[in-house]
Structure 1
Amino acid sequence: MSATISPVTLPSPAAWQGALRLSDLAILQASGPDTASFLHGQLSQDIEHLGPTEARLAAYCSAKGRMLASAIVLRPQEEQVWLLCDASVLAALHKRLSMFVLRARTQLSDASASLCVLGLVGAEAMSRLSPSGAQASAAWGVQASQGGQVVTLPEVQGVPRALWIGPASLADALLAGQPALPAAAWSWLDVMSGVPRIQAATADQFVPQMVNFEVLGGVNFQKGCYPGQEIVARSQYRGTIKRRAALVHSPAPLQAGQELFADSDPGQPAGMVIQAAPVPAGDGTPASPGQAHSALVELKLGAWHTPVHAGAPDGPLLSWGAQPYALPSADDAS
């Protein structure tokens, strides 16, 4: 099957600055004396030793080791933990975790109405929220600031990013002191970071290693049991990982959950779109409708750097993006 890749022109985000409200991120709050120990037994991450100055990635898995949700986890107080997840999975995550609370002294609640999440891009925007003008912390570091918590995210193409999580009543005042960042700019940078976010369309599809979650520190292999732990551990220690997450670009729109097909075996899907966003204009504003998209995709390693199409064997042909972090050499198909 022959095809020609249509070039996708990517913007340079070096000059992007500003902040915006992130309505697609929701907050599940857990409070009570047993909160850390309860979540420690439910998530792929060590929650009992999570300190107030760090955030950690964590997966909530089914008994079969498939990710039902991904979260950025903070512990703003000794007996309180925040799980930042995609808004589309919050209700299911809340309901399922609540089934296992039993006698644990912890209370789960949707805090999205009382707490707000802001996204910040650029050194200037971040410095305005840094306490006493302090430098931003390293990736996944947490600082208290402006009545909330600032989480430093991994840079994307050298551009600093952060989240501010705090009372919704303070959010408007903070936004008023910042340039407005286009939502298209944030969404694209989020995809280009290579850090996967599980949405409703992709829930129960991936073992953490399929989306590079353990490479990013989202799985602690020294902690005790949690749902799916045996399968996640077996995937790590028996044989070679067969599927990984990669960045791609498409001349046509992509969406989470969309299947991918490789020319080498067009009769069955070779992978799936994890997360996608339109490629914005050079200033970060949305481009024209139907524009090119960038995506983080899960794909068989055997299909890497071969012709791969979106949606159907004859669908739009994808081009390969630069991997934003190194993968284990045994799994690197580049």
Structure 2
Amino acid sequence: MKPEWKAFLQNDGAEFSDGDSVASFGNPERERRVTTSGNVICDLSHYGLIAIYGEDAPSFLQSQFSNDIQLVDAQHSQLSSYCTPKGRMLANFQIFQRKETYLLRLPGTLLETILKRLQMYVLRSQVTLEDASASLVRIGVSGPDASSMLREALGFPVPEQINETSTQNDITVVKLSGCHPRYEVYGLLEPIQDLWNRLNVHCAPVGSDCWGLLNVLAGIPVIQPATSEAFVPQMANMELISGVSFKKGCYPGQEIVSRMQYLGNLKRRMYRIHITADQADPGDAIISDEKGENTPVGQVVESYPDPNGGLAGLAVLQISATEASRKLRLKDNKSSKIKLETLPYSLTDSNPE
């Protein structure tokens, strides 16, 4: 995080937790409530950026990721993932284009690992990969009035459809799915400071957990270090949220991902859950009363404090363990209870392209 940006946020009341993550702006409980009902702005410095550019960048990325990079241009971003040869996701990310450079937005905790792995496969390709986290300031904007407020503050139209992007006046806007219109905005320090001040008149600044909560409510998984290599893309519903292409050529794990899609042997899916507990970390085991303590039936993907108490989360579970009669809880918390919630998309709409 740029020191000037951090100082700017601290002057606005930001309280930081570990590293560059904003914990809150002084009232976490109120911030959670307004996140699901009102207009909010959020610093996204807990995400990192990997820049990929050069003559061979499109072909290189096409050979590495689960989605069709040919569909990414100045007006279109996409969700995608990077898999092991066994089809397990090392990471997933939003990828967009800015000034002929591809940018991968992913958790900062995974950036170094993914960057090093990608660099191993460059070989003779004319492509450069680098950590671009310090080059652009990034914020999130969400709420019922986010589109109109952002348009007025920027002075140019903002994307209307999910995953559409636009860049004007050196500011890039990416529209994401959410319970309200939701955007990520990227730019240089001073323009983003000015934008923050304009939006702050009608938006509530919130901590990074609130942006995570919005991902959960949208059913968008974010792979963390604890869940890296844990899930094939379909287990985390990536093909249901346009994160996998079944028409493109080969990439690491492609054969396994395609076989799972066409043979229909998927036994685990990602579900939205509510947990009666104070904490549940990525990778935490979930058990059912039927199978007992020693046989986990799933894992937590992520969870965040719910405005109504407990935790709102996403979890990959054995499909057979989600029947109404099964009681689920965290393996290491005997008093916890897990209830299935409704996702904003159907789990049965998986149609290969």
Moved over 4 A (4+): 10-14
Distance 1:199 1:14 in 2: 23
Matches within 5 A, 1:67-86: 67-78=89-100, 80-86=101-107
- Verify: 1:326 aligned to 2:346, yes or no: yes
Distance 1:45 1:255 in 2: 28
Q: Which residue of 1 aligns with 2:60?
A: 38
Distance 1:95 1:14 in 2: 37
Out of 123-132 and 208-217, give the one that drifted further: 123-132
Task: Identify if the C-alpha distance between structure 1 residues 60 and 261 changes in structure 2 by more than 3 Å, giving closer, same or farther.
Answer: same
Name the SS for the 1:129 alignment partner: helix
Name the SS for the 2:211 alignment partner: helix
Matches within 5 A, 1:59-74: 59-74=81-96
Distance 1:309 1:201 in 2: 19
- Verify: 1:149 aligned to 2:169, yes or no: no
Matches within 5 A, 1:276-287: 276-280=303-307
* 1:263 equivalent among 275, 289, 293: 289
Matches within 5 A, 1:218-257: 218-252=243-277, 253-257=279-283
Q: Which residue of 2 aligns with 1:3?
A: none
Name the SS for the 1:314 alignment partner: coil
Displacement of 1:66 after TM fit? 0.4
Q: Which residue of 2 aligns with 1:5?
A: none
Distance 2:39 2:169 in 1: 19
- Verify: 1:188 aligned to 2:213, yes or no: yes
Displacement of 1:147 after TM fit? 2.1
Matches within 5 A, 1:129-140: 129-130=150-151, 132-134=155-157, 136-140=159-163
Task: Identify if the C-alpha distance between structure 1 residues 108 and 135 changes in structure 2 by more than 3 Å, giving closer, same or farther.
Answer: closer
Q: Which residue of 2 aligns with 1:285?
A: none
Distance 1:155 1:313 in 2: 30
Distance 1:17 1:201 in 2: 31
**Is the Cα contact below 8 Å between 1:52 and 1:142 reproduced in 2?**
yes
Name the SS for the 1:95 alignment partner: helix
Matches within 5 A, 1:95-114: 95-114=116-135
Displacement of 1:44 after TM fit? 0.5
Task: Identify if the C-alpha distance between structure 1 residues 188 and 315 changes in structure 2 by more than 3 Å, giving closer, same or farther.
Answer: same
Distance 1:224 1:92 in 2: 25
Displacement of 1:135 after TM fit? 5.6
**Is the Cα contact below 8 Å between 1:155 and 1:161 reproduced in 2?**
yes
Ranges in structure 2 where 5+ consecutive residues have no aligned partner: 1-31
Q: Which residue of 1 aligns with 2:223?
A: 198
User: Residue type matched to 1:255 in 2?
Assistant: D
Name the SS for the 1:244 alignment partner: strand
Q: Which residue of 2 aligns with 1:4?
A: none
**Is the Cα contact below 8 Å between 1:69 and 1:203 reproduced in 2?**
yes
Displacement of 1:126 after TM fit? 3.5
Displacement of 1:113 after TM fit? 0.6
Q: Which residue of 2 aligns with 1:6?
A: none
User: Residue type matched to 2:74 in 1?
Assistant: P
Distance 2:106 2:349 in 1: 30
Displacement of 1:41 after TM fit? 0.4
- Verify: 1:272 aligned to 2:293, yes or no: no
- Verify: 1:217 aligned to 2:237, yes or no: no
Of Structure 1 and Structure 2, which has the larger fraction of its residues in helix? 2
Q: Which residue of 2 aligns with 1:296?
A: 314
Deviations 1:53-78 (A, max 9, x none): 11111110011110001010102233
Name the SS for the 2:296 alignment partner: coil
- Verify: 1:316 aligned to 2:336, yes or no: yes
Name the SS for the 2:126 alignment partner: coil
TM-score (structure 1 length as normaliser): 0.87
**Is the Cα contact below 8 Å between 1:137 and 1:143 reproduced in 2?**
no
Q: Which residue of 1 aligns with 2:184?
A: 163
TM-score (structure 2 length as normaliser): 0.82
